[in-house]
Amino acid sequence: MNIVNLFKIALKALSNNKMRGFLTMLGIIIGVASVITMLAIGQGSKNSIKNQIGEMGSNMIMIQPGADMMRGGARQSASSMETLKLVDYESILNETRFVSAVSPTVNSAGQFIYGPNNTPSTIYGVSPDYLEIRRLSIGDGSMFTQQDIIAASKVCVVGKTVVDKLFPNGENPIGKVIRYNKIPFSIIGVLKSKGFNSMGMDQDDMVLAPFTTIQKRVLAITHLQGMTASAVKEEYSEQAINEISELLRRNHKLKPGVEDDFNIRSMEEMLTTISSVMNMLTLLLGSVAGISLLVGGIGIMNIMYVSVTERTREIGLRMSIGAKGRDILAQFLIESILISVTGGLIGVLFGGGLSLLITLAAGFTTYVQPWSVILSFVVCTFTGVFFGWYPAKKAAQLDPIDAIRYE
Amino acid sequence: MEKNNKQTDKTVIRLECITRNFVVGDETVHALRDVSFSIQEGEFVTIMGSSGSGKSTLLNTLGCLDTPTSGEYYLDGVSVRTMGKNSRATLRNRKIGFVFQSYNLLPKTTAIENVELPLMYNPSYSSSARKQKSIDSLVAVGLGDRLNHKSNQMSGGQMQRVAIARALVNDPAVILADEATGNLDTRTSYEILVLFQRLHVEGRTIIFVTHNPEIAHYSSRNIQLKDGRVVDDTRNEHVLSATEALANLPVDED
Ligand SMILES: Nc1ncnc2c1ncn2[C@@H]1O[C@H](COP(=O)(O)OP(=O)(O)OP(=O)(O)O)[C@@H](O)[C@H]1O
Ligand SMILES: [Mg+2]
């Protein structure tokens, strides 16, 4: 028996029952489409978070006071949160090889007022290096200088959101004086807009000022709430962390074996963590979708099984005119493979379309991975063979005499 | 009519002491007991007998669908008893044409597609040769104008003709019919009989199982079964013409 004829026979049988074939296919279509879409959503959000972090600076390093909360767990006293001092900043600034930039961070959130307008935002006390570290840039005016740091000048650089809120009529904000906590800050620059990041955070909702100004005039503290730094390159994050860690231990006079009273995290490390979380999520979404593919496969088995019973006489006739058991087996297998592969093809198109629609309509980044398409096809063919096998085998083993007499 | 008969001395079928037992529970049903006969090429044999006498069992054996419990069966000189499933399937495909009581056409399928079915399982036919053979075969049963009609668009008589065309398409050594007229009214039965007689005249070997004693008059030989034994085997010297019988039938009531 040649395979071309078997295909013709199987196609003919399917076209005799188009509606049923389509309904059976629907299970596979939905299964494959959801696998493709889920994986596309998973991969898409992973990519966009990665991009976002890359934009923020993948070589960024964050230094926080206090022992590592993740490891310690216990609540820490107020004094343990004041371990980072100005000397630490100066050490990092002057004594490292793998750190290209460093800035203290002291933040305060509150209301900003200009004339009758006011808006809530956060003021970040930083050094000029902060721009480089966070990949920010000045759109208009200029950044404050080392001079302003030393003098603790009441100057600031504002983000676009703050500008829009305080100057709704489009006035030039440069040179204007806004108030925060009754302290007047004169605006010397405006940040270039960065828009929202993938986690929905407005990156333009910020005000930058010299950290000394915030320390003295706003918070009245002498310690630093934290520091941000940049490794010379992303690959050197590890070395940079080690360097900083050694410096801080030395400055804090920590004996060997004593736990750090600060903790350092790099973006690279966060990226790995986020990636693994996203991978888990993708796997989860994918397996839920995979289950629907399985259900689709069982649908094929179900229909093929009914079909064999319903077509017992046809099978008997085919055998009586010379079809061998293996011809019958092949016919039913080809039928189920045709259903599953066609379903898979439609499912891939459907899933791809759905992903595109999600991107267009919901603004969600999706990315259809080529391997997920190939995988779907392999799985579909396998599904067809696997779930078609049992009914086909049953058909092939029918006794021709019983089959042809079957009522 | 028998003057045109191309009956030869070539033996198509030879049965030697065929028995077929079915074991049902702890009882044994003897469907065929010690059946022996030979059929020459070109014979038109009717097999008769009461219900349960073993006619279908015999026909299934002849058609290589069933294997005898003991005895030898030679089809066209080949011993069938020792053959495996697959070789019997091939034998059915090349040497046997079946006609069933209930036609057994594929649903929603055209006459021509139904007829070419046996050739689909024979790789030596190209699709154009298949098509040509099927058309020839349908023309031979008088359905040259119904090639693309689907099975549900035809009458019982027409469906049975398609089934006969299907049985002819592979040039079988023998055509086996089990109650081929059983579902048809008298007139249509005679029409089918006319067709069988014509095939007989053309030299085909036909074995026709029937309940209807009338039909025996139109065949060249009649084998009578009773309780799985051959009780009578007579040659019919005066074969009646089905064409005449059809002409003499009272005109339909409608
Ligand atoms: N598969 C089977 N299993 C058990 N017994 C069977 C089987 N097939 C046939 N028989 C028995 O064999 C005997 C002959 O059956 P068969 O079908 O050959 O009769 P038949 O002459 O064709 O009858 P009918 O004219 O009613 O078709 C019957 O007693 C039947 O019960
Ligand atoms: Mg019978």
Q: Are residues A291 and A208 in the same domain?
A: no
Mark which of A206, A233, A260 sits at the end of a domain: A233
| pTM for this entry | 0.76
Mutate to test the interface with A, among B65, B116, B179, B209 (most CBs of A within 10 A): B65
% helix, strand, coil for chain A, step of 5: 60, 15, 25
Question: Could you tell me which of A294, A399, A392, A403 has the C-alpha nearest to residue A334?
Answer: A392
The β-bridge relationship of strands B70-75 and B78-79 is antiparallel
Element (H, E) at A213: helix A211-213
Q: Give the Cβ contact number of residue A310 at 10 Å.
A: 12
Within-domain flag for A292: yes
Please give the average per-residue pLDDT across B14-22, as a whole number. Answer: 96
Q: Which two tokens stand for residue B130?
A: 């298949």
Q: Are residues A196 and A288 in the same domain?
A: no
Q: Is A16 helix (H, G, I), strand (E, B) or coil?
A: coil
| Virtual torsion, Cα B87, B40, A402, A405, nearest 10 deg | 140
Show pLDDT as tens, one digit a residue, over chain A (407 residues): 678 888 998 998 888 889 989 999 999 999 999 989 988 988 888 888 878 777 777 788 999 898 765 555 555 667 778 889 999 999 999 999 999 999 999 999 999 999 999 999 999 999 999 999 988 999 989 999 999 999 999 999 999 999 999 999 888 999 999 999 889 999 999 999 988 776 667 889 999 999 999 999 999 999 999 999 999 988 888 899 999 999 999 999 998 888 888 989 888 788 888 888 888 988 898 888 888 888 888 888 899 899 999 999 999 999 999 999 999 999 999 999 999 999 999 999 999 999 999 988 887 788 888 888 888 888 888 888 888 999 999 999 999 999 988 87
Within-domain flag for A78: no
Domain that holds residue A36: 3-52+273-405
A18 to chain B, closest Cα gap in Å = 12
Ion ligand 2 neighbours, Cβ < 5 Å: B 56
What is the rounded CA–CA span in Å between residue A123 and residue A145? 17
How many CB contacts within 8 angstroms connect chain A with chain B?
Answer: 63
% helix, strand, coil for chain B, step of 5: 35, 30, 35
Question: Which candidate from A9, A321, A327 shows the least CB-CB separation from B92?
Answer: A321
**Sheet with B70-75, edge to edge strand ranges:** B27-40, B11-24, B70-75, B78-79
Q: Are residues A289 and A389 in the same domain?
A: yes
What ipTM score was computed for the predicted complex, to two decimals?
Answer: 0.92
If contacts are CB pairs under 8 Å, which of residues 293-332 in chain A contact chain B? 313-314, 316-327
Q: Are residues A149 and A29 in the same domain?
A: no
Domains of chain B: 41-66+88-247 (3.40.50.300)
Q: Are residues A18 and A127 in the same domain?
A: no
- Name every chain A residue with its beta carbon within 8 A of the beta carbon of B85: 324-325
Within-domain flag for A290: yes
Q: Is the CB of B55 under 6 A from ligand 1?
A: yes
- Amino acid A42: pLDDT: 87
What is the rounded CA–CA span in Å between residue A14 and residue A22? 9
Residue B7 banded pLDDT, cuts 50, 70, 90: low
Query: Which bound ligand lies closest to the C-alpha atom of B58?
Result: 1
Domain total in chain A: 2
Within-domain flag for A260: no
Q: Are residues A281 and A175 in the same domain?
A: no
The better pLDDT of the pair B230, A286 is held by B230
Question: Which candidate from B104, B117, B123 shows the least CB-CB separation from A1?
Answer: B123
Q: Are residues A183 and A106 in the same domain?
A: yes
Q: Is the CB of B121 under 6 A from ligand 1?
A: no
B65·A401 Cβ contact <8 A: yes
Centre of ligand 2 from the C-alpha of residue B164, in Å: 18
Q: Is B110 helix (H, G, I), strand (E, B) or coil?
A: strand
Q: Is the CB of B60 under 6 A from ligand 1?
A: no
Residue B2 banded pLDDT, cuts 50, 70, 90: very low
Would you mind telling me the total number of residues written for chain B in this entry?
Answer: 254
- Amino acid B250: pLDDT: 82
- Name every chain A residue with its beta carbon within 8 A of the beta carbon of B166: 321
Would you mind telling me the total number of residues written for chain A in this entry?
Answer: 407
The better pLDDT of the pair A363, B164 is held by B164
Chain A CB within 8 Å of residue B130 CB: no
| Virtual torsion, Cα A213, A219, A224, A225, nearest 10 deg | -130
Within-domain flag for A175: yes
- Name every chain A residue with its beta carbon within 8 A of the beta carbon of B65: 319-320, 400-401
Q: Is the CB of B24 under 6 A from ligand 1?
A: yes
Within-domain flag for A348: yes
A328 to chain B, closest Cα gap in Å = 11
What is the rounded CA–CA span in Å between residue A383 and residue A21? 15
Within-domain flag for A11: yes
Mark which of A201, A233, A265 sits at the end of a domain: A233
Q: Is A173 helix (H, G, I), strand (E, B) or coil?
A: coil
Mark which of A233, A251, A284 sits at the end of a domain: A233
Within-domain flag for A268: no
Which whole-number Å values give the CA distances from B103 to A298, B96, B158, B201, in the listed order? 34, 16, 10, 23
In chain B, which residue's Cα lies nearest the Cα of A3?
B123
Contact B14, B81 (CB under 8 A): no
- Amino acid B1: pLDDT: 43
What is the rounded CA–CA span in Å between residue B115 and residue B103? 12
Q: Is the CB of B54 under 6 A from ligand 1?
A: yes
Chain B CB within 8 Å of residue A164 CB: no
Residue B145 has pLDDT above 90, yes or no: yes
What is the rounded CA–CA span in Å between residue B91 and residue B98? 13
